[in-house]
Amino acid sequence: MSLEFCSKPLSSRSKFKPKGGHRCYLPKDHKGKCSEFPFLAHLVKYAPRVAKKIVRDSIMTTGAAWKSEDAGPNRIRRWAMLLPDAELLKLGINMSKLKPIIVSKLREKAAEYGACMSVAQKLAWLTYGIEGCEAPPDPIRQYLEALFGRIMPNTTTCLVCKKPISFALFHTAQRGKAEIETSHSNPRLHTTVNIGFAHRACNIAQGNKTLEEFYDWIAEILLRVGYTVTKPS
Please, what is the minimum distance in Å from the beta carbon of residue 56 to Zn ion? 21
Nearer to Zn ion, 76 or 123 (CB): 123
Q: How far is the CB of 198 from Zn ion (least distance, A)?
A: 5
Identify which of residues 80 and 144 has a Cβ nearer to Zn ion in the complex: 144
Least distance (Å) between residue 32 CB and Zn ion: 8
Q: List residues near Zn ion by CB under 5 A.
A: 6, 8, 24, 26, 34, 158, 160-161, 199, 202
Query: Rounded to the nearest whole angstrom, what is the least distance from the CB of residue 227 to Zn ion in the complex?
Result: 19
Q: How many whole angstroms separate alpha carbon 43 and alpha carbon 210?
A: 30
Long-range contacts of 51-55 (CB under 8 A, 24+ apart): 53/170, 53/178, 53/182, 54/120, 54/123, 54/124, 54/127, 54/182, 55/120
Most distant CA pair in the chain, distance: 63
Closer residue to Zn ion, CB minimum distance, 6 or 103: 6
Identify the sign of the CA torsion 144, 150, 155, 158.
negative
Please identify, using beta-carbon distances, which residue of 22 and 105 lies nearer to Zn ion. 22
φ/ψ (deg, to 5) at 210: -75, 160
Tell how far CA 54 is from the center of its chain: 6
143 vs 145: CA distance, rounded Å: 6
CB 110 within 8 A of CB 79: yes
**Residue 39 burial (C-beta neighbours within 10 Å; 0-12, 13-18, 19+):** buried
**CB closer to Zn ion out of 88 and 158:** 158
Judged by beta carbon, residue 35 or residue 192, the one nearer Zn ion is 35
Give dist(CA 203, CA 49) in Å, integer: 19
- Min. distance of Cβ 24 from Zn ion in angstroms? 3
In one-letter notation, the amino acid at residue 99 is K
Q: In angstroms, what is the minimal distance from the CB of 90 to Zn ion?
A: 30
